[in-house]
Every structure is written in C-alpha cells, then in structure tokens.
Structure 1
Amino acid sequence: MDNIEAMPTAVNYALLEKALTAFEAAKKLLTIAQVTLTPENQFRDTRETAATLDCFAYHPAPKNHNLR
C-alpha cells in the first residue's frame, strides 16, 4: 500500500495522530533548547514569525484617537 489514499480512514487517522505526537515532542525539545541558548544564538520559528507579521499587516490594532 504505497498510496495513502488507498488506506482505510482509520489507518490515516492513526498515522496523523502519530505524526502530530512526534511534532509536539519535537516542538517541546526545540523550546527547551531555545531557552538554554543566549539571545545572540537563538533561532526563530519562521512559521510563527510569518504568522505574527501577517497579523500585524492584515489585522492592525484598532486606532485609538485619544492617544497623544
């Protein structure tokens, strides 16, 4: 069964669940590693950076006209 589309749905869900578990474990390890690095040596999650920049670009904070 080389083709994942030919697999039963239950098998697909099981594979996805295992993949998500592996990604969650990797994310935890990366977070631990990043905390131990000095600020000059830290790395960034480019997907999170892109999402944050998109948020600023496309969903700006409401303008407060009372600011000086």
Structure 2
Amino acid sequence: MLPKEVYQSLIIKSSGSATRLIRLLMKSFFSQEELAASSLSGEGIYKQRLQPEITEAIKGNWIIF
C-alpha cells in the first residue's frame, strides 16, 4: 500500500486522466521489467502478485483505495 501523499501526487500528475492514473499507479507497484512481461488478459505478474478483485477493478477501470 502506498502512502496517501503518493496517491495524491499521482492523481495530480494524471491531470484527470483515468488511464494515465492507472499507468502511474502500475509504475509505483511494479518494475519496468515486470510491466513489460505482464498482461491483464494473460497470466502475467499482475495475476501472481495482486489480489483478484484488484485485477478485476483495473480491467474495469475502477479505482480501489
């Protein structure tokens, strides 16, 4: 879990774009190598490291805090 200040900073950086916010959040949780090897529709690192409801929320563009 990230500190509240980090979430707030990422929200500001995203400039109101949900897609950009999701990308920034992913970069906060995963290394570039992990992101490159991952796929939400496949069996990538996301499904190995995230709880199923978080993966489903990402695919559905929901934000969970």
Give me the TM-score of the superposition, normalised by structure 2.
0.29
Structure having the higher Rg: 1
TM-score normalised per structure 1: 0.28
- Comparing both structures, which one devotes a greater share of its residues to helix? 1
